[in-house]
Amino acid sequence: MQTSAAKINLLDLDRQSLEVFFTQWGEKAFRASQVLQWVHQRGVDNFEAMSNISKALRTRLEEATEIRLPEVVMEQASRDGTRKWLIRVDGGNSVETVFIPEDDRGTLCISSQVGCTLNCSFCSTAQQGFNRNLSTAEIIGQLFVAYRALGDTPKGERRISNVVMMGMGEPLLNFDNVVKAMNIMIDDFAYGLSKRRVTLSTAGVVPAIDRLREVCHVSLAVSLHAPDDALREQLVPLNKKYPIAELMAACRRYLDGVPHRKITFEYVMLAGINDTPKHARELVKVLADIPAKVNLIPFNPFPNTSYTCSSPEVIKVFRDIVTRAGLVTVTRKTRGDDIDAACGQLVGRVMDRTRRSQRGAAAGARGLE
């Protein structure tokens, strides 16, 4: 028998990959759908329970493959009903996954990287540095873990109605693994979520946005946060490579030929930085010809940050300007901040290969001298 390290984790395989896997074994391709149903719809993580698969095939699967979930290290519950799981993905690293219940939906926020390669200045995750991409199994495993913890079943009682790739990391820099995981989310033999209910949030990796449209056209959210290149480069350094004009062109291409769809533009409200009426009017101009929804996000503080959140009055003035221009504009409720589960607060545990976290700590220490 092969050791666990040599076994194939079936959570890494979407239906297309499973079909290739089984046909290479000389099995019928429909075995893929059977396994997907057992694992993702029924939550089975052992082969003996798969009663419509022959004993011989179950034995072969037991010897060559496994269904290995990421390990839950800690679970926290917020006073507002938000739940957060700290999930160990290898010996020294962990990521965070958050469930946000609302009256009309339940949203699971999933991580795609250990840390983040980008260095957005207002995001706590970014300050932790970066270690590696998550595997498909580690990404879809977060949904599996949440389903099990919440008592969900894809064909029955379901508290998770929406999934957002908005946790730790930039999803489009882990393109293949993220797409496989989202394929499983929307597969009718797995979780059966609508493409409209799976949202990928990106800081604006333009070539990957074009690729995503071709292979997995889920809902798109763009972390914009500024209406001009000079300011956005301070907040989102990726803008130096893909400036706003290129990003907006990619957004228009993403929606081309798809009526009744909008892109959500996320805009964190930073006091005295990007929150003036002038910024609001410039934002309206940037989004003038794009079917858009604007999501204003009150800044959630974290240790050693110099930013503060715009006041409710300032946010209201900003929102009213954008709304009057005809753009659907929503101020996001801060959820789970008492357990550091709010937007921009996810940190997990990152063995930082970039040394960014060490440099940041050193700079902070010098500032206190």
Q: How far apart are CA 335 and CA 338, in angstroms?
A: 8
The residue from 116, 120, 251, 343 that is catalytic is: 343
**Residue 160 identity (one-letter amino acid):** I
Q: How far apart are CA 131 and CA 129, in angstroms?
A: 7
- Helix or strand run (H / E) with residue 231: helix 229-235
Contact 229, 243 (CB under 8 A): yes
Task: Write the DSSP string, 68-116.
Answer: -PPEEEEEEE-TTS-EEEEEEEETTEEEEEEEEE-SS-EEEE---EEE-
The residue from 66, 96, 138, 266 that is catalytic is: 96
Of 228, 332, 239, 238, which Cα lies nearest the Cα of 273? 228
Look at the block and give the residue holding tokens 């545990």: 349
Of 263, 272, 207, which Cα lies nearest the Cα of 234? 272
Contact 195, 236 (CB under 8 A): no
- Helix or strand run (H / E) with residue 59: helix 55-64
354 HSE (CA, 13 A, CB side):
18
B/e letters for 55-86, b = 16+ CB within 10 Å, e = fewer, are eebbeebeeebbbbbbebeeebebebebbbbb
343 an active-site residue? Answer: yes
Catalytic residues: 96, 343
